[in-house]
Amino acid sequence: HRRFDYRPKTDPYCQARYTFCPTGSDIPVMKEEDVIEVYRLQAPVWEFKYGDLLGHLKIMHDAVGFRSSLTGKNYTMEWYELFQLGNCTFPHLRPGMDAPFWCNQGAACFYEGIDDAHWKANGTLVLVTTISGTMFNEMAQWVKYDNETGIYYETWTVQASPDKKSTVWFDSYECSKFILRTYQKLADLGAVFKKIQTNYTSIILFSGEPIYLGNETSIFGPQGNKTLAAAIRDFYNPFKPHQSVREFFVDLFKIIDRVILNHQFYLFYNLEYWFLPMKSPYLKIIYEEVPLPVGSKASFGV
């Protein structure tokens, strides 16, 4: 996933249904001698059934919690879409504009408190490691860097087949990937994680080798490819970005219909368009184990 130099200003056209990070605050500076507990937080976004096609799915949202021993204060940190999931997955087709218009950014949100009831009742709230105040402060610096340079949300993972060793053409960049990056950063700083099973949700598309199509200017600009531009617009036409989570999944199934009927998908990734020659099983939503990390310090015996 490409890193960018800065986060672009958001266009006023992009309106969120829910305010991003409404009670968010700056990450506090912890005292070096503090001992901070780190919690894994996970709860379902929305559990649903859809006939026999995909069965019962576990679509989970991930976050990380912290508790300071010195102050007794709890904190939650998560990463999610500025304008909700639909906007990160589908563009707007605006009148008078040739190119699809994307309202797509994701960012970290940090706030005081952990909503114990929410995470415990529906999912997971479990201690994974303990860190020092110094490590926490170093992690906070890394979060700032990660946030300023990794700016676009990416819903899809694209790979060649369901085989575990299969080629990954494109990797997703969403809430769970931020949590995994955070754990890895803490491990690199010296955190030792407990041996517990940790699972994450991925939405995977299956495709032959992707074909590079170009960027917005080369496809939709004055010298662009009118036929290709029309095909991309037509592909995105049925989807509505401003929507609830429920409506998002209705659109997800519209995509599956189109993808299976026509074996095609147009992917917008790092500001570029790609054509995916889709193949069976086309799309899977999986909930699989990703182990907690082992730090680079520990592995080299430092």
Which residues are annotated as catalytic? Answer: 61, 175
Looking up tokens 């592909």 gives 235
Q: List, in order, residues 6 or more apart from 130 with CB less than 8 Å away.
A: 35, 36, 37, 38, 191
Return d(Cα 64, Cα 41) in angstroms, integer: 5
Short-list 180, 52, 84, 50, CA closest to 128: 180
Return d(Cα 160, Cα 27) in angstroms, integer: 40
Short-list 152, 178, 158, 153, CA closest to 170: 158
- Cβ pair 191, 294 in contact under 8 A: no
Return d(Cα 107, Cα 211) in angstroms, integer: 29
Angstrom CA distances, 117 to 41, 43, 113, 210, 286, stand at: 11, 11, 12, 44, 26
C-alpha dihedral sign at 25, 84, 100, 268: positive
